[in-house]
Structure formats: structure tokens, C-alpha cells
Amino acid sequence: MNSRSMKRVFLNTDFVHMSGTPEELEVAELLKAECESLGVSARLEGFRVAMAEMEHEAVYADGREIPCKGFFGCGSGSVEAELAYLPALDPVSLAAAKDKIVLLDQGVGFFSYHDLVKAGAKGLLFQYGNPYYSFRDIDRRDLREHVVGEEPKLLCAMLNTADAIELVKNKVQRVRIEIRQREFDGQSHNVVAEIPGARDEWITLTAHYDTTSLSHGAYDNMSGCVGLLGVMDALRGKKLNYGLRFVFCGSEERGLLGSKAYVSEHEAELEKTVLNVNLDMIGTIMGKFIACVSAEEKLSHYLSYMGAELGFPVASRIGVYSSDSTPFADKGVPALSFARITANNAAPIHGRHDRHRLLSMEQMGKDIDFIAEFTRRMAMAAVCPVSREMPEKVKKELDEYLFRKRKD
């Protein structure tokens, strides 16, 4: 893809497209059309996602209403209690949660949510944003089904950080959360396209296309989707030993739901998947190119050596990346994620600033060239050189990331 083609995709998707919404489906259809314009057939595969429509949301602090956004999926009702601010969730801090509405400095996962329920918390308040910004954005989140598990739902709401600071500073005593919402089953989609190879085995390339509630998602992660299209364009028509399957994943921002749905639906085929290559945030003006390898250490070394050979610096490490490579690795498929990560908030994500102006089409092209060359080498291999053995370090991180075990 040339710079003009890449920029066209960014401009055509320059709007919020959250999981399960008509806007997300619009982008899925657009990506399908982009694949077909390259001569590669594509299809949509739907999967269930929990959805909600908010009818009423309010937070009152000592009788004064505070701007908020209720969490989708946290149920409906009202709760009033004393406020407890918990900057941490250690056992000593949790002791203060009993019968309180808890204001947190952090999000919650499976274990921390269950700890709060068992500690007797009556409701949860979270915070978003920078108190020194002139605007007062509040992100819309959801209480995820895999976080709640078998525990009861607690009413949850998001505040702007500036308002959260005022609650603590002013020693607010009583807080009331009111939420009324309609919860229902919706649908999200993966877009799947294929370039066959000589063997009935595949390298699966992934990138997610959904956004969070405030973001247009150019960097996170239409950049990865443009990367997939660029690799597709570079390798279409080539005689490959291994086929290439491209999966544009929906609903990643809500807990990797698209890639989880894909590996579940296609589990019988995963034995024929020799490698997963995931792209999540590339092409920024500033930042270093990284590879996080959920596979044998030899692959990490190979990427470093290949970068040295091509004059393209790669910071490679072994571990688990919080993206769509993780469900593949958890099924035993060697996986890696590529990203270009910036420092000092030069390319912020999950907010209003994630627009295509953060990106360089020139750098995007260079990143795509490297990824395409790596993919070509793997797809042309007589036998895929990457072992299916998963290092113990990666297995441990997968157990922790997927909440099967607590972190040490």
C-alpha cells in the first residue's frame, strides 16, 4: 500500500466504533471491502457480545451531583453508603471497604473484583483523565462478564479524575450511585481473509479494529489493520509454502473477545496454525519498534538478528502482550505481537487524541515492510522453524493474565 491508500483507510474510519455497535460493523464491512479490492476474498464471522443501553446514570456526593458514566453490564439499581478511597487493594486497604462505596485509583480484574466483593464493598467508583486538561472527558467502560464470574454485580461508575480528587480533598461522607440500563446480547464480528499456500497449514495474522468510547482508534488500532492490509498487498500473488490467514478482530478493547471467539470457533484448525503474528499499534512518528514473543526464545533472537541484518532496530523480548496474540498462545500456537511504542505520551490511546495525526505514513510503510519480510520468510520456509513448545515463563504469564492464577 502506498501512503495515499493508507491515509484513505484512516480517513474512512475516523470515528468512534466501539464493540457491538453499528459503527463497528461499518468498519468491519469497510475492511472486508479493502481486502476484496486487493483481490483477496474475505468474510465476516459474527460472535456474541454483552451489550447495554444506558437509561439513567447519576452519582451524588453529599447530595451534590457529580458528572459520571455508569458501567455497561453492572446491573441496575441504586446504592448509598459512606465513601472509602482505596489507593491500593492490599489486605489492609481492603479492610476499609466493608459497607462502603469504594473510590479506586486503578481498574479491577477477576481477583481484585472478587476481593472487593468479599470485603463487603457496596459499589465502585473509578476515575479517568488528567485533572490539568481543560476538558473533562469521562470514558465509558463495562463490567466484564469474565471479571464478575459467579460473584454478584456491584454498581460501578466512572468519574473524571479532577472530580475524584475533589471528593477526597473535601472529605465527602456519603455517596449515592444510581444506574438504570437495558442489558442484552449483541453481536460483534471478525473479518477473515485468506491467501492460500502450498501446504494446508497457516500463519494467522491478527489486528483489532474496534475502539474505546472516546477514541477514533487510528493508532490503537487501525494502524495494525492497515499493517495487515499492507502485508496482504505485499504477499498476494506470491507462491507461498504456508497459507496466510488475516483476522481483523472485533471487540479487543473489551477483553480480547474477537480473538477469543476466533480460537474457540476454529479450535479444531489450530493444529494447522504454525504461527500467529499480531499487530497492535505501529507507524507512530516517534517511538521504538518492539516484538513481544509468546514462543521459544530462539524466535526472539531471530527477530533481533533480522532487524540488525535489515538495519531496522527491534527490541524483542519473551512474554505475554495484552492483545490478540494472547488467546493463540494460550491454545499452544507460537505467537508474537509487533508494536511501535512511544514515550512521554507522544501518541496517547483510549482518548480523544488518538487520531491519524499521531502517525507517519512513511514510518508506517517502513514498519509494514519489516513485518511483511518477516512473514514472507516464515511463509516460504520449507518447514516452519518455530517450535510449538511454550516456555514456562510464558505459561506462567498466561495463567496470570487470564486470571487462572494470582500474580506472585
Domain locations in the chain as residue ranges:
3-49+187-401, 57-184
**Which tens digits make up the pLDDT trace of 99-139?**
999 999 999 999 999 999 999 999 999 999 999 999 999 99
Instruction: Of 156, 191, 174, 163, give the one whose Cα is nearest residue 40.
Output: 191
Question: What number of CA atoms fall less than 13 Å from residue 348's CA on the CB side?
Answer: 10
CB 128 within 8 A of CB 71: no
- CA distances from residue 383 to 242, 270, 274, 390 in whole angstroms, order as listed: 9, 17, 10, 18
* DSSP H or E segment with residue 396: helix 392-401
Q: Is the pLDDT of residue 269 over 80?
A: yes
Instruction: Of 76, 182, 67, give the one whose Cα is nearest residue 125.
Output: 67
pLDDT band at 381 (very low <50, low <70, confident <90, very high): very high
**Which tens digits make up the pLDDT trace of 242-267?**
999 999 999 999 999 999 999 999 99
Q: Is the pLDDT of residue 39 over 90?
A: yes
How big is the CA angle at 300 (ends 294 and 305), to the nearest 5 degrees?
160
Instruction: Determine the angle formed by the axes of helices 361-380 and 223-235, rounding to 10 degrees.
Output: 50
Quickly list DSSP for 327-392. Answer: HHHHTT--EEEEEEE-STTSS--SSTT-SGGGB-HHHHHHHHHHHHHHHHHHHH-SS----SPPPH
pLDDT of residue 345: 83
Sign of torsion over alpha carbons 208, 37, 2, 204: positive
As a whole-number percent, the residues of the chain with pLDDT over 70 amount to 100
User: What single DSSP character describes residue 38?
Assistant: T
pLDDT of residue 344: 76
pLDDT of residue 48: 98
**Which tens digits make up the pLDDT trace of 308-355?**
999 999 999 999 999 999 999 999 999 999 999 998 789 999 999 999
* DSSP H or E segment with residue 236: none
Residue with cell 451489550: 51
**Superfamily of chain region 3-49+187-401:** Zn peptidases (3.40.630.10)
pTM, full prediction: 0.96
pLDDT of residue 205: 98
Q: How far is CA 316 from the centre of its chain?
A: 20
Q: Is the pLDDT of residue 387 over 80?
A: yes
Mean pLDDT of 227-248: 98
CATH architecture of 57-184: 3-Layer(bba) Sandwich (3.50)
Please give the single-letter amino acid code of residue 43.
R
pLDDT band at 189 (very low <50, low <70, confident <90, very high): very high
Q: Is the pLDDT of residue 17 over 90?
A: yes
CB 229 within 8 A of CB 9: yes
**Which tens digits make up the pLDDT trace of 90-109?**
999 999 999 999 999 999 99
pLDDT of residue 408: 81
pLDDT of residue 343: 84
Alpha-carbon distance of 222 to 279, in angstroms, equals: 10
Instruction: Of 133, 116, 125, give the one whose Cα is nearest residue 66.
Output: 125
Alpha-carbon distance of 51 to 175, in angstroms, equals: 27
- Mean pLDDT, the chain, rounded, equals 97
Instruction: Of 244, 164, 236, 231, give the one whose Cα is nearest residue 204.
Output: 244
- CA dihedral of residues 217, 221, 223, 225 (deg, nearest 10): -120
The size of the chain, in residues, is 408
Please give the single-letter amino acid code of residue 107.
G
Instruction: Of 272, 56, 87, 92, give the one whose Cα is nearest residue 176.
Output: 56
Domains 3-49+187-401 and 57-184 share a fold: no
Alpha-carbon distance of 383 to 228, in angstroms, equals: 23
Mean pLDDT of 40-59: 98
* Strand spans (E) along 105-161: 123-128, 155-160
Alpha-carbon distance of 273 to 223, in angstroms, equals: 24
User: What single DSSP character describes residue 267?
Assistant: G
Alpha-carbon distance of 118 to 193, in angstroms, equals: 46
**Which tens digits make up the pLDDT trace of 365-379?**
999 999 999 999 999
